[in-house]
Structure 1
Amino acid sequence: MIFVAFDFIFAGCGGLLLGFSLSSEQRLRQSPTVDNVAQNLLLGQCPLTAGVVNSIFIFVTFLLSLPALFLPTNRGWLRAQGWLVVFCATFTLGLGLAIWVETLQTRSNLSNIWARETPLIQSLLQQKFNCCGYFNSTAPPFVQDNLCINSLVAAQKGGCIGQFSSFANKYLDLIFTAAFGIVGIDSVLVLCVAMVLNWRQEQERYRHIDEKNGLGGL
C-alpha cells in the first residue's frame, strides 16, 4: 500500500511540474506590469520546456507502473519502472541544480538581465522595488519615470540591486527546493519498488520450493 501511495504521489508531482511549467509559459506571454515583471524575468531564465518534458516522462513512467500494480507476481514491469523513476529523478535533479547554480551568481546575472531590457521593463522594476537604476542612479543610468523624476530623487532612492537580488534569491529558492523535494519522493519510490521487487522474488522462490515438495506451488 505504501508503494501504491507513493506511485500516485509520484504522478501528482508530474502534474505539479507540468502545471507550473505551462502556467509559467503562459504568464511570460502576458503584458508586463509592476506585479509580474520581476517574476517573469526570473521565470524566463528557468528551463520551463525541460520541465514539461520531464513531466511527460513522469506520466509515462506512472502508466508503465500500472501493469506492475495489477500483476502481483510480475517483476519485469517493476524493474522497468524502477529504472525509469531513477531517470526521472536524475532529470529533475538536473533542473533543480541548474536553477540553484543561478542563485550562486544572482547579482551578475541580474545585471545582464537589467542591461538588455527595455526602458519600460526597467521602469517597472524601479516602481516595484522603489529604486532608481541598477547599481545606483548613474551606473547604469536610471530610467526617468513617475518614481524617479529627476537625478536628485533618484540618488536618494538608491539602486535596485539589493531588493532585486533578495527577491530573486527567495523566488528561485522556492523553485529549486520544490524540485529537490520531488527528487526525494522519487528516491522513496525507488526504495518501495526495490522492496516490492524483493518480496515478489522471495514469493517466487517459495513457490518453486513448494512445487519441488509436491505442494503445487501453494
Structure 2
Amino acid sequence: MPSKLMMFFVGFDIIFAGCGGLIMGFSLISEQNMRTQPTVDNVAPNLLLDQCPLTAGVVNAIFVFVTFLLSLPALFLPQNRGWLRAQGWLVVFCAAFTLGLGLSVWVGTLDTRRHLSDIWGRESPLSQSLLQQKFNCCGYFNSTSPPFIQDGTCSSALVAAQKGGCIGKFSAFANSYLDKIFTALFGVVGIDVILVLCVAMVLKYRQEQERYRHIDEKNGLGGL
C-alpha cells in the first residue's frame, strides 16, 4: 500500500499537470477568441488578452506536461532518485517560468492608463465605438481628446460631453480582469512550490530507505 507521503506527492503531481492544462487551455482559447469578430461583449477582454504573453503560456504548459511525464518513471521505480531529481529541477524551472508570466502581467497593470491610451489610439473606429457602447462613455480621456466616435451611445457632442470619457471605466475593467490572470498564475506557482517540497521529501525518504538497506546488507539481513 502506498505511503501517505507518496499519495500526497502523486496528488500534487496530478494537480501540477492540471495547472498546465489550464494554462494551455486558457492560452489557446484566448488566441482563438481574439480572431473572432469584435462585439460589445468581447472587445475589451480581447484587447487586454492581446497584451498578455499567450504564446509563452503555451510554451510553459508544454514544459509542465514534459515534467509530468518525467515524473512517471519516478513513481514506477521506487528505488530510483535520478528521475526525481530531474523532475524537481524541471518543476523549479516551470515555477520560475510561470512566475515570470505572472510578473509580466502584473507589471503591465502598474501603468494601466498609459497602456490603454496607446491601445485605444491603435484601434479602429469600430472597436472604439464598441468600447464606448460597453462602458457607456465617449472618447478616451473625454469626448474631444481623442474625439469620440458617433454612434448610438454618443449620438451628439452634447450627449458625449455629458457621458464623459472611457478612461476610468476602461481602466477599472482592465485592472480587475488582469488581476484575475496574474493572481491565477501566482496560485499555480504556489502549487509548484508545494510539489518541489514533495519531491524533496520523497528524495529524502528514498535516501533513508537506501541507507537502511545498505545497513541490513552489511548485517547479513539483506533478505529480510
TM class, shorter-chain normalised?
A: over 0.9
TM-score (norm: length of structure 2): 0.96
- C-alpha displacement at 1:48, in angstroms? 0.3
Contact between 1:207 and 1:217, CA under 8 Å: does it hold in 2? Answer: no
1:28-43 map, 5 Å: 28-43=34-49
Q: What amino acid does structure 2 have at the position aligned with 1:120?
A: L
Equivalences for residues 39-78 of structure 1 within 5 A: 39-78=45-84
The letter for the 1-side match of 2:29 is S
Give the aligned length: 218
Shift of 1:146: 1.3
Residue 183 of structure 1 corresponds to 189
Point out where structure 1 has 5 or more consecutive residues left out of the alignment: none
**How far apart in 2 are the matches of 1:141 and 1:88?**
45
Q: Give the Cα–Cα distance (whole angstroms) in 1 for the partners of residues 205 and 48 of structure 2.
A: 46
Residue 20 of structure 1 corresponds to 26
- CA shift for structure 1 position 191: 0.1
**Residue 80 in 1 paired to residue 86 in 2?**
yes
- Residue 165 of structure 2 corresponds to residue 159 of structure 1: yes
Structure 2 distance, partners of 1:185, 1:20, is 18
Identical positions, percent = 80
Among residues 5, 9, 14, which one is paired with 1:3 in the alignment? 9
Partners of 1:129 and 1:51 in 2: how far apart?
Answer: 29
Tell me which stretches of 4 or more aligned residues in structure 1 moved more than 6 Å: none
Q: Residue 201 of structure 1: SS of its match in structure 2?
A: helix
C-alpha distance in structure 1 between counterparts of 2:130 and 2:108, whole Å: 23
TM-score (norm 1): 0.99
Cα deviation digits, residues 158-198 of structure 1 (max 9, x gap): 00000000000000000000000000000000000000000
- Residue deviations 1:21-49, cap 9 Å, x none? 00000000100000000000000000000
SS at match of 2:80: coil
Deviation at 1:147, TM superposition (A): 1.1
Q: How far 1:216 moved relative to its partner?
A: 1.3
Cα separation, 2, equivalents of 1:147 and 1:209: 82
Kindly report which structure 2 residues correspond to 1:104-183, keeping only aligned pairs within 5 A, or say none.
Answer: 104-183=110-189
CA-CA distance at 1:217 after TM superposition: 5.7
Q: Which consecutive unaligned segments of at least 5 residues does structure 2 have?
A: 1-6
SS at match of 1:197: helix
